[in-house]
Chain A
C-alpha cells in the first residue's frame, strides 16, 4: 500500500476512494468526445468574462493618463506588456503546480514548496557570477537548467524515501529550498549580488516593459504543450505502477513534466520573480469545486491563476499609489491565509489521516 496517497480534497468522497481521480471514475463515454460541450459551460464563460474584466481594469490602472495625447504610446510600452506578463505568469505558474501535484501524487507540492524556485535563483546567481553582463537569455537558461536539476533531484528523493505522511513532503521541500538558498546567498554575498537577490525574490511586474517581457512568450508554448499532453499527466497521477499498467511511459512523462515546470518556473523567475503559493492554491481550489479531471480543469486552473495574479497585482498597485508593492508579497500573504484555510478544511473533514 503506498504511503502517501493522492487524497482528493473533495469531502463528498471519503479518503478511501482517494486513489481514483474522479475524471477516471466517471462512466466511460462512447467515443464521440463530448468534451467540447462540457468544456464551454456557462460557468466557464462567466469566468472568462470576469477575468477579462480584471485584465481591462489592469490595463487602465496606473499613474499615466492613457487617454491623453501620447497616452496610447505609453499604453503600448508598459500596460500591454505588463498585462500579457500577468496572464502568462498566472496561467503557467498555476499549471506548474497542477502538473507537479499530479506527478508527485501530493496535494501540497508546487514550485515554491519543492525548492524549484530556489534552484532557479541559484542558476540566476551562478550566471551573474560566472558571466558578468550576461544577457537576459543566458540568465534565463541558467535558471531553467538549475530548476530542472533541482526538480529532478526532488523527485528522485521522493522515490527513494518512504514517507509516513503526505504532509511531510512540502516541509522537506521547504527545507531543501532553504539549503539551496543559503548557497545562493553565500555566492551572492561573495559577488555583491545580494540586492539583486532581494529584489528578485519579491516577484513584481514593475519592470515588465516592452523589450523585457518577450521571453514570456516561451511560457505560452509550454502552456499549449500542457493542454496537448494533459491526459498523460492525469494517468501519471494514478501512480507509477498503475500508469505503466495502462501503457504509459511513466519516466518519459515524468521528465516531460519536469522540463515543462522548469521552463515555466525559470522564465517566470527571470522576468517577473517568485510568485509564492500560486501553484498550490489555484489547483486545489479548482479541484474543490470540480474534481480531478485534468483536461476539463485546465482552462479553469489557467483562469483562476490569471485572476488571482491580476487581483494581487492590482492590490499592490493601488494600495500605496503612486508606489507599487511587489505582487509576490501580496501573494505571499493572501496565499498563506488561503493555504491554511484549505489545510484546516481538510483536517475538519478528517481527510488527512496520515
Chain B
C-alpha cells in the first residue's frame, strides 16, 4: 500500500510543453518507475538534474528575473510613491526611511513563510497543508494572553523585550519538539495523526486564549490586543533586530540540509533505503519550521494562506525537486505578491489594514483550485 503511494508522490519531471507533442503526462496518471513513456526527440537532451533541459533553465531564470524586477519596482514604489517632499531633499529621505521598516517586515515575513511552508510540505509529503494550521500561532497568542491573564498589565512587560522574545520562541520550539518527538516515535508513528493533533491542539488553545481574554478587565484587554495583532503596515518592528538573525540562522540550516530535503521528499521508504534517517530528518525540519513560524507570527500575527500561495506558485514555476531552486523562487514570489498587494492597497485603495485579508483571499482561491484539480492527497 505505502509503496504504491510513494510511487505516486515521486516528483515527476514534467516535460516542457511543446505544440503538437502528445507527450505531456496526464494529471493523476499512475507513473511507475522505469516506465518513462516513449522517448521522443525532445527527451534526448534531458538529464536527471534539478534542471532537465536548456528550455527548463531558460524558463526558470526568466521567471526569476521577472519576479526580481517586479519586486524591485514595488520596493521603489513603496519607498517613493506619494512622497510629498521633492526628490532628493532631506525630508524625502526621512519619509523613505520610515517606509524601510515596512519593507523589512514584509521581507522577513515572506522569507519565513516561504521557507517554512516549502520545508513543511516536504516533510509531511503533502502539498496541500501549511504549517500555520499546526497551532503555532495559537500557541503564540496563548502565551501572550496567559502572561496578561496571570500577571495583569505587568504581564505585558513580561512578554516584551529581547530575553522574553527569545523565551517565547524557545517555548514554541519546545512545544513543537515535545509534540513531534512524542507523535513521530514509537511503533505507530504517523504523520497524519501528528498533524491532526496539532490542528486540534491549535483549536483548543485558540478557545483557551479567547476564554482568558473574556475574563480580562477591559484595560488589560486593550493592552493585550495592541500587543497581539500587527498588520503589515503596523507590524511590531521592535522585534526586527531579533527576528532577522534568528530567521536567517534557521533558514541557513535548512539551506545547508537542502540535499537531504530532496531525499526526504521522496517519501519515507525511499529515503530510508537511500540511507537518510527519515524520522530524524523530518523532526529537524519541523523544528526549524517552528522557529521560522514563530518569527513570522511575532511580527504580523497569523497568516494562513500566504505560505500556501507562495509554495504552490513556486512548484508551478520552478518545476523541480531541488530545494535550493525552490526556496529562492518561493521567497521572490512571496515578496512580489506581498509588496505588490501592500503597494496597491495603500496607494490606490487606501486600505492598508486589508492587505493580509487580500492575500488570504488570493491564497484561499488558489487553494481551492489546486484542491479540485488534484487527484490524490
Contacts and interface: CB of A to CB of B under 8 A. Distances in A.
B273 interface: no
Interface stretch (A6-14, A211-219, A327-335): A327-335
Given A185-B357, A325-B211, A340-B197, A178 B364 contact: yes
A141 interface: no
Contact of A182 (B364, B374, B376, B377): B364
Contact of A348 (B129, B188, B197): B188
B72 interface: no
B170 to A, nearest CB: 23
B354 A186 contact: yes
Interface string A167-184: 110111011101100110
Interface in A302-344: 320, 325-326, 328-333, 335-337, 339-340, 343-344
A347 B190 contact: yes
A256 interface: no
Nearest to B376: A162
A293 to B, nearest CB: 27
A202 B126 CA distance: 32
B188 A175 contact: no
Contacts of B284: none
A319 to B, nearest CB: 9
A330 B211 contact: yes
A165 B133 CA distance: 18
Contact of A175 (B133, B196, B206, B214): B133
B35 interface: no
Contacts of B196: 108, 167, 170-171, 343
Contact of A336 (B129, B203, B357, B376): B203
B375 A162 contact: yes
B302 to A, nearest CB: 10
Interface stretch (B17-25, B236-244, B365-373): B365-373
Interface in A50-81: none
A186 B377 contact: no
B180 interface: no
Contacts, number: 135
A162 B371 CA distance: 11
B157 interface: no
Given A178-B305, A347-B190, A347-B193, A170 B199 contact: yes
A167 B371 CA distance: 16
Contacts of B199: 170-171, 174
A161 interface: yes
A174 B138 CA distance: 15
A337 B374 CA distance: 33
A333, A336, A340, A353 — which one has the most chain B CB atoms within 10 A of its CB? A336
Contacts of B11: none
B163 to A, nearest CB: 30
A165 B2 CA distance: 11
A12 to B, nearest CB: 18
Nearest to B5: A164
Interface residues of B, number: 47
Contacts of B360: 182
Contact of A164 (B130, B205, B353, B376): B376
Interface string B218-234: 00000000000000000
Contacts of A202: 210
Contact of A326 (B187, B214, B375): B214
A276 interface: yes
B178 to A, nearest CB: 13
Contact of A343 (B130, B197, B208, B354): B197
B91 interface: no
B375 A343 contact: no
B197 A163 contact: no
Contacts of A344: 193, 197
B307 to A, nearest CB: 12
A354 interface: yes
A336 B304 CA distance: 20
A157 interface: yes
Q: How large is the interface on A (under 10, 10 to 19, 20 to 34, 35 or more residues)?
A: 35 or more
A174 B133 contact: yes
B207 interface: yes
A186 B359 CA distance: 11
B201 A172 contact: no
Interface string A209-227: 0000000000000000000
B156 interface: no
B371 to A, nearest CB: 7
B210 A186 contact: no
A125 to B, nearest CB: 14
A163 B377 contact: yes
A243 interface: no
A192 B192 CA distance: 39
Contact of B367 (A162, A179, A354): A179
A84 B285 CA distance: 51
A168 B201 CA distance: 16
A352 interface: yes
Nearest to A198: B210
A160 interface: yes
B215 interface: yes
B361 A172 contact: no
A185 B303 CA distance: 13
A276 B367 contact: no
Nearest to A178: B304
Closest 10 CB pairs of A and B: A336-B204, A332-B207, A179-B364, A167-B192, A182-B360, A329-B211, A165-B192, A162-B376, A329-B207, A339-B200
Interface of B: 1-2, 5, 126, 128-130, 133, 183, 187-188, 190, 192-193, 195-197, 199-201, 203-208, 210-211, 214-215, 304-305, 353-354, 357, 360-361, 364-365, 367-368, 371-372, 374-377
Given A333-B208, A343-B196, 13 more contacts: A164-B376, A172-B371, A175-B128, A175-B130, A176-B371, A179-B367, A329-B208, A329-B210, A331-B207, A340-B197, A347-B183, A348-B188, A352-B192
23 contacts: A161-B371, A161-B374, A161-B375, A161-B376, A162-B377, A170-B196, A172-B377, A174-B199, A176-B368, A178-B304, A182-B361, A182-B364, A183-B364, A276-B203, A326-B214, A332-B208, A336-B201, A336-B205, A336-B207, A343-B200, A350-B188, A352-B193, A353-B188
